[in-house]
Amino acid sequence: MAVTSLSPSCARTRPERAESARAGLLRLWLGRIRARRALAALHPDQVREAGLDPFRLRAEMIKPFWQG
């Protein structure tokens, strides 16, 4: 019988993968919160200079963090 070694990525248990997925989701949500707060902090002149549509900007700002 041949003995094979598992690489570290293959040896991860299911709970570790679930923790990693949760951590990734948390990072995504926090990034959305930060981005939407930054959009909310823009001055109307900055919005115009960037060529952003104020209505689409507002729609993005009021989305809950869990919606992409």
Count of domains forming the chain: 1
Question: The domain containing residue 30 runs over which residues?
Answer: 22-61
- Position 4 pLDDT exceeds 80: no
In a domain, 17, yes or no: no
Q: DSSP label at 63?
A: S
Q: How many CB atoms lie within 10 A of CB 36?
A: 17
Distance, CA of 28 to CA of 34 (rounded, Å):
10
In a domain, 4, yes or no: no
pLDDT value at residue 15: 79
- Position 66 pLDDT exceeds 80: yes
In a domain, 31, yes or no: yes
In a domain, 39, yes or no: yes
In a domain, 56, yes or no: yes
In a domain, 42, yes or no: yes
Q: Tell me: the pLDDT tens digits for 9-48? A: 555 677 788 889 999 999 999 999 999 999 999 999 999 9
